[in-house]
């Protein structure tokens, strides 16, 4: 048995090595995204001429391929290149956050915080803590991608571990565990609203609250933390080996008295900022609540979360710098921000080409047609029971490779599968839970995920030879293990007949 296990382990390692070499042998990621954009344009022309189309399940309209190489298509490309770039969500989000992060980094706050964490935290719990923070970060919208992932790499490097292992652990929690969480996040009301609209095709009086998957999400979060920690320490980190790159680790020595004073005042500033946000958000009719409904879930507060992230780095960074004298005037503060921004040049170039690829694919309608046809295929093969649910998970995971937005995918898939599963006796909460698993597990290995280019750029700070192949081969074990563990959890949930959340039943009866 040991020989078989060792052989399987070596075979899998060889497969990952081949995946990495193949991926890294490809052109520079920016060039690759440019080539993919061109291929999408060519595919759109072919799809248009062969009459590729599908019927949209939500409204019955015929979805056809938009030919990007036609006159209209070429005019769209010409007039939208800059719009695709500037409206690509990760660009503005990352650069906005970097204003606050750059100041916090330049003032020395982040370095001191990391030293404090490394000195005080038990070393054996750091991996699990990072994966846990990644899962929890879903509440703060995109903050996990922008903040936690690069910080995790820095922490791992500081304690003598490979920085990419830290990056991988954080990425696994943030993106691979997207369908899990320990509290309700901003995506929950969106998905529940789409599920409700689809469910009302069968039952016009049905109401689905945003917490219908909460029990399952909470336990899923525990599973993701445990599985993510195991994969990091038993598969990813041993394969990466010792880091021999040129990045300098933070010196883990004692924190000086002036740094302690700076941390204390920075903490006070964060407390004041937190109280201010509570006043602006919690009371009824508060400024940052939804002005029409009074809700917090769909409110300016959550929609502008990245502004809060910037503020929560900017203010303590400024206070810390003033206390420890790394910032003496406004010119030095701006200098720190500029210095941090200058390191984003490679990312900005990469985003330009990544944005073209994503928006070309979206405008061509190829992704929508693929999703609809995939849904029809699953409907046609006649699976039933648990195997139908598992098949739906895999279909969602496959479609996620080509469509990044969870809400966009669910807007297409919910009108097909929610009513279909209801007629088979399954509650919309179960269908939505199965979708969320598939929507999460392939985030780690698809370039269609909006922040994939950002992850590549983070990795290249530690070795400029790291590319898409490095990230995909590194994250593939997480994707495989998460899929297996999550499906097993869902099957167990069904077999034990447990509710998925408040009013989130497994079975439906009108």
38: in domain: yes
Torsion angle (degrees, nearest 10) of CA 385, 386, 389, 390: -140
Residue 3 within a domain = no
User: Cα 407 from chain centroid?
Assistant: 13
* Residue at 282 is within a domain: yes
In a domain, 312, yes or no: yes
How much is the pLDDT for 296?
74
Beta strand pairing call for 62-64 and 53-55: antiparallel
The answer to whether position 116 is within a domain reads yes
Task: Cite the DSSP H helix spans in 343-451.
Answer: 345-364, 366-380, 385-400, 406-423, 428-441
Res 69: pLDDT: 96
503 near 213, Cβ under 8 Å? Answer: no
Please give the pLDDT value at position 41: 95
Dist. CA 103–CA 109, nearest whole Å: 9
| Strand, coil or helix: 507 | strand
d(CA 326, CA 238): 39
Instruction: In whole angstroms, give the CA distance from residue 267 to residue 260.
Output: 10
Within a domain: 2: no
Q: Is residue 61 part of a domain?
A: yes
CA separation for the pair 92, 101 (Å, rounded):
14
Cα three-residue angle 77-27-483, rounded to 5 degrees: 90
Q: What is the pLDDT of residue 297?
A: 62
The answer to whether residues 94 and 451 touch, using CB atoms and an 8 Å cutoff, is no
Distance (Å, whole) CA 196 – CA 209: 9
Q: Are 505 and 425 in contact, with CB atoms under 8 Å apart?
A: no
Question: Element (H or E) spanning 17, and its range?
Answer: helix 2-25
| Per-residue model confidence (pLDDT) at position 10 | 63
Number of domains in the chain: 1
Q: Is residue 505 part of a domain?
A: no
Q: Provide the residue-wise pLDDT of the chain in tens; the chain has 510 residues.
A: 465 555 556 665 676 667 666 656 667 778 878 888 899 899 999 999 999 988 876 667 888 999 999 999 999 999 999 998 988 776 777 788 788 888 988 888 877 876 776 567 677 888 998 898 888 776 555 667 877 888 889 889 988 899 999 999 999 998 888 889 887 766 777 788 788 877 886 788 888 888 889 899 999 999 999 999 999 999 999 998 899 888 887 766 677 889 899 999 999 999 999 999 999 988 888 898 888 887 776 678 877 777 887 898 899 999 999 999 999 999 999 998 898 788 778 778 878 887 888 788 888 988 778 767 766 776 677 666 788 899 899 989 988 887 666 776 787 778 778 877 887 788 999 999 999 999 999 988 887 777 888 888 889 889 888 888 888 889 999 999 999 999 999 999 999 999 998 888 899 876
Which residues span the domain enclosing 358? Answer: 15-496
């Amino acid at each position: 048995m040991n020989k078989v296990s060792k052989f399987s382990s070596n075979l899998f390692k060889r497969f990952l090595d081949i995946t990495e070499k193949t991926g890294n042998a490809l052109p520079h990621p920016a060039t690759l995204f440019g080539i993919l954009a061109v291929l999408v344009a060519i595919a759109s022309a072919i799809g248009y001429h062969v009459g590729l189309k599908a019927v949209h399940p939500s409204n019955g309209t015929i979805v056809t391929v938009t030919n990007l190489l036609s006159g209209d298509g070429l005019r769209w490309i010409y007039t939208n290149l800059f719009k695709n770039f500037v409206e690509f969500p990760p660009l503005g989000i990352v650069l906005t956050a970097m204003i606050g992060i750059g100041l916090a980094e330049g003032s020395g706050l982040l370095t001191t915080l990391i030293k404090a964490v490394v000195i005080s935290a038990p070393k054996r719990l750091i991996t699990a803590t990072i994966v846990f923070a990644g899962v929890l970060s879903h509440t703060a919208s995109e903050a996990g991608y922008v903040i936690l992932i690069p910080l995790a790499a820095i922490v791992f490097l500081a304690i003598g571990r490979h920085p990419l292992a830290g990056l991988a652990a954080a990425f696994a929690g943030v993106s691979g565990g997207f369908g899990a969480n320990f509290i309700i996040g901003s995506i929950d009301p969106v998905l529940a609203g789409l599920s409700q609209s689809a469910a009302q095709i069968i039952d016009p009086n049905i109401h689905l609250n945003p917490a219908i998957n909460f029990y399952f999400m909470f336990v899923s979060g525990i599973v993701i933390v445990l599985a993510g920690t195991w994969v990091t320490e038993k598969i990813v980190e041993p394969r990466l080996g010792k880091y021999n790159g040129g990045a300098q680790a933070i010196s883990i020595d004692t924190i000086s008295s002036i740094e302690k004073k700076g941390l204390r005042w920075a903490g006070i500033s964060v407390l004041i900022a937190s109280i201010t946000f509570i006043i602006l958000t919690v009371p009824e009719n508060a400024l940052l609540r939804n002005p029409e409904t009074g809700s917090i879930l769909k409110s300016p507060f959550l929609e502008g979360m990245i502004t809060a992230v910037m503020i929560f780095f900017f203010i303590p960074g400024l206070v810390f710098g003033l206390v420890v004298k790394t910032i003496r005037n406004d010119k030095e503060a701006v200098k720190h921000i500029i210095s941090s921004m200058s390191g984003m040049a490679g990312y900005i170039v990469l985003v330009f080409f990544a944005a073209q690829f994503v928006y070309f694919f979206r405008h061509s309608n190829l992704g929508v047609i693929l999703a609809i046809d995939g849904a029809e295929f699953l409907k046609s093969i006649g699976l039933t029971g648990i195997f139908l649910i598992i098949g739906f998970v895999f279909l969602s995971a496959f479609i996620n490779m080509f469509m990044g937005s969870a809400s966009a995918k669910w807007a297409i898939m919910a009108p097909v599968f929610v009513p279909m599963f209801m007629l088979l006796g399954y509650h919309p909460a179960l269908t939505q839970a199965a979708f969320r698993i598939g929507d999460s597990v392939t985030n780690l290995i698809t370039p269609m995920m909006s922040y994939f280019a950002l992850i590549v750029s983070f990795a290249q700070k530690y070795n400029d030879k790291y590319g898409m192949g490095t990230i995909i081969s590194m994250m593939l074990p997480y994707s495989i293990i998460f899929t297996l563990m999550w499906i097993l959890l869902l099957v167990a949930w069904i077999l034990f007949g447990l509710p998925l959340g408040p009013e989130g039943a497994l079975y439906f009866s009108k």
